[in-house]
Amino acid sequence: MTQPDEYQMGLSSRKAIYIPFPQAVPCSYILDMEHCLGNNPIACGKCQDVCEKQAINYDDADEVITREVGAIIVAIGLDVYDPTEMDEYGYTRYDNVITSMEFERLICAGGPTAGHFVRPGDSQRPKRIGFVQCVGSRNPKIGRPWCSNICCMNTVKDTLLLADHYPDVENVVYYQDIRAFGKSFEDMFQRSKEAGTRYVRGLPGDVEENPTNGNLLVTVENTTSGKLERHELDMLVLSVGVEPPKDLAKISGLLTLSKTSDGFLMESHPKLKPVDAPTRGVYFAGFCESPKDIKDSVCQAGAAASRAGALLNAGKITIEAITSQIDAESCTKCGVCARVCPYGAIQWKKGEVAVVIEAACAGCGACGAACQFGSITMRHFTDAQLVAQVRAIMAEKPKEKVMVFACNWCSYAGGDMAGISRIQYPATNRVMRTMCSARVSEDMVLEAFRVGAPIVLVSGCHYADCHYINANRQTVQRVQRLWNKLEKAGVRPERLQLEWISAAEGQKFAQVMKQMEELRQTVTDEEIAHAMEALKPKPKKKPKPKAEPAAAAAP
Amino acid sequence: MSPEPTNGDLRVGVFVCDCGLNIAGTVDCGAVTAYAETLPDVICAVRNKYTCADPGQNEIKTAIHKHKLNRVVVASCTPRMHEPTFRQCVLEAGLNPYLMEMANLREHCSWVHPGDREGATAKAMDLVASAVAKARLLEPQEEMEVPVTKRALVIGGGVAGIEAALELADAGHPVTLVEKEASIGGIMAQLDKTYPTMDCSI
């Protein structure tokens, strides 16, 4: 049984029982159960026969190991760009077009050719080798606008290796810009040029293969001379970019992490907390935060370890005093708060007063907004405080303002990002911060309309990114109920808006604020006056509201 | 709306930050300070050049003592940056840190409305009014301490993960390193030589 060897980029093969590579840690054989025939002992089972130590167990199963930890470092690395979609370079059509990762294996003494650098097409040593930079980087047309950071210097290194191994080699590098900014990088770049490497400013527009000898004909506009050039090469290396790892979505979901617009992990602050996640106790190291080379990865790993170590050394953490408190006297024992708590931090049994387990409460405020009886106090974000803020904001000229409720972690931070990026939008919005959008109660929204707000926006984290597990599902349900209420009261439901804006989406925050302002201008004085009247709180109903159906039927 | 009735026991101090020209370049901070003085229970309103710097923080502490302030509003940048700074500041002056509230005049106002001095100033006034309204209802709070489990998890066994795990282990912390592949090493293990030293990757 043989399979393509993943470590060698498929340039050689391995068996179904193998050591991934000679320096592997741990350096022991593994079974590829997908292709092992021993799973069915009648078909094979040879490795078990010859293993004297009887170390092979075809029936071994995965095991779940549980560990309690106080700090987490996310270092999940990167994926390498697959250039298949960039068909103009002929990667899938021509044997002698390879990626920079395949180059690494071909030039490595531990590689499939024992370090003899040959063309995959005919096993001949190439003399004229071209390198194309920015394949899958700095290319907004294919949705990859970021610089991958490492490819320029990796190519400079490759040209030096080739010149060192084969003095007669003729290297040519096609580039947009050479970014040789690090310590001793410029020196390496100059050495590459001194070794005879030609650097042509311009990316190839077309690559064709000569079918008789497998050579490649590259057409490129040299943007320095302004002339079209045609080069015949023996081999073309695509200097492929990098991208956020596919596993990132899963990990960021587990740890409630945010991503920047290019999909890498979003740090707590770009300058002041570059290795901290917004979630306390979680830190970043390496590529998953942004493209960086080995030295920078090692530096960041040291910083992350230092931050995590400080937390572990302290041995304790203070919890912000924003937790929920239940007033046992007014609690009606309904249990709604326990049902909406994403953390199971409220204990309740039928017929009993609900009790908050403070250490488990994260302070989202979903319970506070859901309690119909005012029995829950969210410390530092009380109903009275938040309603007072709404009233203060709308005290003068309310019709000129858009009332915005923004959650601390995403939407409010998205507003901060718009500020940091200096993205302009109309000055008519008034943002109020709550920890979670689920903290915004029906009454807070209605109060904003009662005091004359033309538009109210409730904004929170994207659905899967909620920092309180899934508290923002309560937000959705509440806003839907409010839309129904507004419609029944003859208030245009569009006057209440719901938007998800992440911490990285400064652009979206500004865009939403522009939309809100456009919407605000459609609201008439009559509409505002009607809402102020129609949404007035009804006098408290009598304990037994038997007359209600009749009242509802009245004209 | 009629203003909330004043409460004789409440003594709010408002500190409006210029942030150099970051805020004052767009927002009329003098007008915002004067407006703050008219708000209920505001005993004093002070304009600072840099509220987060020592002189600015000292002004807050001095005003707390001089005016017997029991609520503080800092109108400066985002609370996501300097809330811990100003909580510590009022704590040092003897106030419970939860009796401090911030208004975000920079990220949410001056930096995003540079061409609209009038609009930005009106917005800044509302944000200060909102912060004062909340401050008047703030209560002292006590934070709870919880123990941290003395073990770290490192997700990913590439060069960054290995380095972080070793650093933590060298510092004496138990570390669990998880890697999805059969061997640690990550993508770096597939490289032949690495720049700038041109030595082997593994």
Q: How far apart are CA A184 and CA A114, in angstroms?
A: 30
**Total domains in the fold of chain A:** 5
Are A270 and A213 within one domain?
no
Are A258 and A330 within one domain?
no
Among B1, B176, B181, select the one facing A395 at the smallest CB separation: B1
List all residues 6 or more positions away from A313 whose beta carbon is below 8 Å from its beta carbon. none
Where residue A429 falls among pLDDT bands split at 50, 70, 90? very high
Interface-testing mutation among B106, B108, B145, with chain A (most A C-beta atoms within 10 A): B108
Among A72, A78, A108, select the one facing B153 at the smallest CB separation: A72
Q: What is the model's pTM?
A: 0.82
**Cβ-Cβ contacts under 8 Å, A161 against chain B:** 192-193, 198
Higher pLDDT: A61 or A235? It is A235
Position A141, amino acid: K
When the pLDDT of each residue in chain A is averaged and rounded to a whole number, the result is 93
Contact A105 B190 (CB under 8 A): yes
Are A100 and A227 within one domain?
yes
A462-476 confidence digits (pLDDT tens): 877 788 888 999 999
The CATH code of the domain that includes A328 is 3.30.70.20
Stretch A29-46: mean pLDDT, rounded?
84
SS (H, E, C) chain B: CCCCCCCCCCCEEEEEECCCCCCCCCCCHHHHHHHHHCCCCEEEEEEECCCCCHHHHHHHHHHHHHCCCCEEEEEECCHHHHHHHHHHHHHHCCCCHHHEEEEECHHHHHCCCCCCHHHHHHHHHHHHHHHHHHHCCCCCCCCEEEECCCCEEEECCCHHHHHHHHHHHHCCCCEEEECCCCCCCCHHHHCCEECCCCEECC
The CATH code of the domain that includes A92 is 3.50.50.60
Residue A541 has what pLDDT? Answer: 59
Position A417, amino acid: M
Interface-testing mutation among B145, B195, B201, with chain A (most A C-beta atoms within 10 A): B195
Stretch B59-78: mean pLDDT, rounded?
97
Residue B181 CB burial class (10 angstroms; 0-12, 13-18, ≥19): middle
Where residue B54 falls among pLDDT bands split at 50, 70, 90? very high
Position A340, amino acid: V
Which domains are present in chain B?
A: 12-135 (3.40.50), 152-200 (no CATH)
Nearest alpha-carbon partner for A310 in A273, A264, A360, A359: A273
Total count of residues recorded for chain B: 202
- Alpha-carbon separation of residue A373 from A238, A331, A377, B20 (angstroms): 65, 7, 11, 47
Contact B80 A416 (CB under 8 A): yes
A217: number of Cβ within 10 Å: 14
Contact A385 B3 (CB under 8 A): no
Q: Rounded to a whole number, what is the distance in Å from the CA of B65 to chain A's nearest CA? A: 24
- Alpha-carbon separation of residue B166 from A295, A451, A454 (angstroms): 16, 59, 57
Contact B107 A358 (CB under 8 A): no
Torsion angles phi and psi, residue B141, rounded to 5: -130, 150
Return the DSSP state at A87: G
Where residue A261 falls among pLDDT bands split at 50, 70, 90? confident
Are A195 and A287 within one domain?
no
Q: How far apart are CA A39 and CA A34, in angstroms?
A: 9
Are A100 and A124 within one domain?
yes
Choosing from A295, A314, A333, the residue where a domain stops is: A314
A236 within some domain: yes
Range of the domain at A462: 381-534
DSSP A255-277: HT--B-TTSSBPPSBTTTBTTB-
- A84 interface with B at CB cutoff 8 Å: no
Nearest alpha-carbon partner for A131 in A242, A238, A240: A238
A547 within some domain: no
A435-465 confidence digits (pLDDT tens): 999 999 999 999 999 999 999 999 999 877 7
Residue A125 CB burial class (10 angstroms; 0-12, 13-18, ≥19): middle
A45 within some domain: yes
Are A162 and A114 within one domain?
yes
Stretch B150-169: mean pLDDT, rounded?
98
A278-290 confidence digits (pLDDT tens): 888 999 999 999 9
Q: How far apart are CA A54 and CA A310, in angstroms?
A: 45
A480 within some domain: yes
pLDDT at A551 over 50: no
A43-55 confidence digits (pLDDT tens): 888 898 899 999 9
Q: How far apart are CA A373 and CA A329, in angstroms?
A: 11
Stretch A134-146: mean pLDDT, rounded?
96
pLDDT at B104 over 70: yes
Choosing from A314, A340, A372, the residue where a domain stops is: A314
A214 within some domain: yes
Are A23 and A110 within one domain?
no
Are A99 and A235 within one domain?
yes
A300 within some domain: yes
Lowest mean pLDDT among A270-274, B62-66, B146-150, B155-159: A270-274
Are A490 and A505 within one domain?
yes
The CATH code of the domain that includes A514 is 3.40.50
Degrees, nearest 5: CA angle A424-A428-A430: 100
Contact B139 A426 (CB under 8 A): no
**Coil/strand/helix, residue A34:** coil
A163-195 confidence digits (pLDDT tens): 999 999 999 999 999 999 999 999 999 999 999
Q: Rounded to a whole number, what is the distance in Å from the CA of A70 to chain B's nearest CA? A: 4
Q: What percent of chain A has pLDDT over 90?
A: 85
N-terminal to C-terminal alpha carbon distance within chain B: 71
- A473 interface with B at CB cutoff 8 Å: no
Among B126, B186, B193, select the one facing A161 at the smallest CB separation: B193
Where residue B7 falls among pLDDT bands split at 50, 70, 90? low
Contact B190 A389 (CB under 8 A): no
pLDDT at B3 over 50: no
Question: Chain B residue closest to A164 (CA)?
Answer: B198
Are A403 and A456 within one domain?
yes
Among A20, A424, A430, select the one facing B183 at the smallest CB separation: A20
- A392 interface with B at CB cutoff 8 Å: yes
A303-353 confidence digits (pLDDT tens): 999 999 999 999 998 889 999 999 999 999 999 999 999 888 999 999 999
- Which residues, in sequence order, are bridge partners of residue A497? A457
Residue A247 has what pLDDT? Answer: 93
A428 within some domain: yes
Q: Rounded to a whole number, what is the distance in Å from the CA of A343 to chain B's nearest CA? A: 17
Nearest alpha-carbon partner for B134 in A438, A447, A404, A391: A391
Interface-testing mutation among B163, B181, B188, B197, with chain A (most A C-beta atoms within 10 A): B163
Are A393 and A522 within one domain?
yes
- Residues B72, B11 contacting (CB under 8 angstroms): no
Q: How far apart are CA A287 and CA B188, in angstroms?
A: 11
Choosing from A380, A408, A431, the residue where a domain stops is: A380
A293 within some domain: yes
Are A61 and A109 within one domain?
no
